[in-house]
Amino acid sequence: MAADAAGDIVVLDRQKVETVKREAFGFNLPKLDLFGGKGEKPEALDRVEGVAKQAWQNGTGGWTIVLEDGAKWDQVGRDPVRRAPKPGSKIAIRKASMGSFFLNIDGQTAIRARRVD
């Protein structure tokens, strides 16, 4: 970071850092030394929860869900969803293996999903 190299002091509000981490959840971003100081291991965010703002079946037969914070997730694969998501549905997303994610809709069995926006 240029400010670090120049010896400048950079102040980051902890709440803002957590907000940025949450907004970036699901994207494959390069590792940056922005959110942890030297020698500190940054806390990993491995789960987020939200509320569906919109939900629809997309052209591949899976579901697309937009959360209230604007994050857009697409279902990957053909796992069935017993109760269709709708505005107001509670959504929980957690990291799975090899960079994939599991998405639960109103506590149902998880489906695989990927962040698209």
Give the angle 25-106-113 at the CA atoms, nearest 5°: 40
Can you give the pTM of this predicted structure?
0.69
Which residues, 6+ apart, have CB-to-CB distance to 85 below 8 Å?
A: 52, 55, 63, 65, 91, 105, 106
Measure the CA–CA gap between 31 and 52, rounded to whole angstroms: 29
pLDDT tens string 23-44: 777 766 555 555 555 555 556 7
pLDDT tens string 53-100: 999 999 888 999 999 999 999 999 889 999 999 999 999 999 998 888
CB 74 within 8 A of CB 56: no
Query: Hey, where are the domains in the chain?
Result: 47-115
Q: What is the pLDDT of residue 5?
A: 58
Q: What is the pLDDT of residue 7?
A: 66
CB 23 within 8 A of CB 69: yes
Average pLDDT over residues 12-20: 74
Average pLDDT over residues 2-24: 69
Q: Which of 98, 103, 45, 96 is nearest to 72 (CA)?
A: 103
Q: Which of 61, 91, 66 is nearest to 76 (CA)?
A: 61
Measure the CA–CA gap between 80 and 73, rounded to whole angstroms: 16
Which residues, 6+ apart, have CB-to-CB distance to 67 below 8 Å?
A: 50, 51, 52, 53, 73, 91
